[in-house]
């Protein structure tokens, strides 16, 4: 039996997490949040979000808990210890992890959560803060179908496209596959733009033409303009390469070839040394291509 959803918890209030928490609040759900750095939550607190001093307190007070953290280590850090989520979970609670972490670690967490009487769902999202703001975020779900049915309305408050994938870990696996394709396509775009820029074509003209062409996917749509006006960071090199490393690990584990993934990961490794490594990964990778080609960097 699941708890009636009266209070929603949120752990991890960075750029994406805070945006999702705000959407939940705007949909009328009372939210209690925790973040390692409280100052990042001030706008949400001013808008009426409750505050908990530890992840454990979030779990103790809430019927559904969302987490959105950067990687596996961050999720496990929030889960364990006397102040962790696992210590505060109770029977009937649902923990839905929106992060992109190791599929193996996600499945292991689901087993630990089940031992508390609570339920765990891997619910990674696909999109960016821009996608979220436009109401176009998609959510994938892995885990117990009854738990998914219980929280499906909440997930639709995050984004309109919610897909139940299958058992624990399957949503994370699907997200890794999607991000593999995303990074490869964005890296290839940086390569293509640099090629013709080297031949003398205006960068702005190439971007404009691409946005009117058949390659204008949603991710190219919101990222390509960064090559002309670098004003936003959707995901930096370190954050985006994490997903490629997960894909490479899966390739080794299952004996599947991921050559384009490996090539893209090498470009992201090179981009770590770029002077623009703190910018969006498209900008960082394009900087590496330009310097290698002798294109004037501006």
- Give a three-class secondary structure readout of the chain: CCCCCCCEEEECCCHHHHHHHHHHHHCCCCEEEECCCHHHHHHHHHCCCEECCCHHHHHHHCCEEEECCCCHHHHHHHHCCCCCHHHHCCCCCEEEECCCCCHHHHHHHHHHHHCCCCEEEECCEECCHHHHHCCCCEEEEECCHHHHHHHHHHHHHHCCEEEEEECCCHHHHHHHHHHHHHHHHHHHHHHHHHHHHHCCCCHHHHHHHHHCCCCCCHHHHHHHHHHCCCCCCCCCHHHHHHHHHHHHHHHHHHCCCCHHHHHHHHHHHHHCCCCCCCCCHHHHHHHHHHHHHCCCCC
187 shares its domain with 140: no
- pLDDT of 135: 87
d(CA 97, CA 144) in angstroms, rounded, equals: 13
Distances (CA, A) of 245 to 37, 38, 232, 249, 263: 27, 30, 24, 6, 12
Output the six-digit token pair for 190: 């940086």
Same domain, yes or no, for 264 and 249?
A: yes
Determine the angle formed by the axes of helices 259-271 and 281-293, rounding to 10 degrees. Answer: 80
**Domain stops at, among 104, 132, 166:** 166
Tell me the C-alpha distance between 192 and 162, whole Å. Answer: 33
pLDDT of residue 88: 97
Residue 72 placed within a domain: yes
Domains held by the chain: number: 2
Q: Select from 166, 181, 209 the last residue of a domain.
A: 166
Catalytic residue among 40, 175, 198, 212: 175
Instruction: Give the number of other Cβ atoms within 10 Å of residue 10's Cβ.
Output: 31
Cα angle, residue 100 at apex, residues 20 and 160 outer, rounded to 5°: 40
Instruction: Write the CATH number for 77.
Output: 3.40.50.720
Helix, strand or coil, per DSSP, at residue 96:
strand
**pLDDT, tens digit, 9 for 90 and up, residues 8-53:** 999 999 989 999 999 999 999 999 999 999 999 999 999 999 999 9
Say how far apart CA 39 and CA 42 lie, in whole Å.
5
Our answer to whether residue 198 is catalytic in this structure is: no
Last residue of a domain, one of 113, 140, 166: 166
User: What residues of the chain score a pLDDT lower than 70?
Assistant: 297-298
Q: Which pLDDT value is given to residue 130?
A: 84
The pLDDT of residue 114: 96
Neighbouring residues of 259: CB distance < 8 A, sequence distance ≥ 6: none
Q: Is residue 298 part of a domain?
A: no
Instruction: Specify the pLDDT at position 5.
Output: 94
Please tell me whether residues 88 and 204 are part of one structural domain. Answer: no
Q: What angle do CA 182, 187, 192 make, to 5 degrees?
A: 125
What CATH number does the domain containing 289 carry? Answer: 1.10.1040.10
Q: Do 188 and 238 lie in a common domain?
A: yes
User: Quick one: 39 and 143 in the same domain?
Assistant: yes
* Domain shared by 204 and 289, yes or no: yes
State residue 298's pLDDT score: 54
pLDDT at 296: 76
Owning domain of residue 69: 8-166
Are residues 160 and 185 located together in one domain of the fold?
no
Q: Are residues 203 and 95 in the same domain?
A: no
- pTM of the entire structure? 0.91
The reported pLDDT for the residue numbered 21 is 97
d(CA 105, CA 108): 5
Measure the N-to-C terminal CA separation of the chain; round to a whole number of Å: 59
pLDDT of residue 133: 86
Residue 3 domain flag? no
């Amino acid at each position: 039996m699941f708890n009636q959803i009266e209070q929603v918890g949120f752990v991890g209030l960075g750029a994406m997490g805070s945006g999702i928490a705000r959407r939940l609040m705007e949909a009328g759900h009372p939210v209690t949040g925790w973040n390692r750095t409280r100052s990042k939550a001030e706008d949400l607190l001013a808008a009426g979000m409750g505050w908990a001093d530890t992840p454990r307190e979030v779990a103790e007070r809430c019927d559904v808990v969302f987490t959105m953290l950067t990687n596996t280590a961050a999720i496990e850090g929030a889960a364990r210890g006397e102040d962790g989520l696992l210590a505060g979970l109770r029977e009937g609670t649902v923990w839905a992890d929106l992060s992109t972490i190791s599929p193996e670690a996600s499945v292991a967490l689901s087993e630990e959560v089940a031992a508390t009487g609570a339920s765990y769902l891997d619910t990674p999202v696909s999109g960016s803060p821009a996608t979220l703001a436009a109401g176009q975020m998609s959510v994938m779900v892995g885990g117990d179908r009854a738990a998914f049915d219980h929280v499906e309305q909440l997930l639709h408050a995050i984004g309109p496209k919610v897909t139940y994938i299958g058992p624990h870990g399957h949503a994370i696996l699907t997200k890794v596959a999607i991000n593999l394709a995303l990074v490869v396509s964005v890296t290839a775009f940086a390569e293509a733009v640099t090629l013709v820029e080297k031949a003398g074509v205006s960068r702005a003209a190439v971007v404009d033409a691409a946005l009117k062409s058949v390659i204008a996917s949603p991710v190219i749509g919101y990222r390509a303009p960064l090559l002309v006006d670098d004003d936003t960071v959707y995901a930096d090199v370190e954050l985006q390469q994490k997903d490629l490393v997960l894909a490479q690990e899966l390739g080794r584990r299952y004996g599947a070839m991921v050559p384009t993934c490996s090539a893209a990961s090498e470009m992201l490794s090179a981009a770590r040394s770029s002077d623009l490594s703190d910018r969006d990964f498209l900008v960082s990778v394009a900087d590496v291509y330009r310097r290698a080609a002798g294109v004037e960097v501006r």
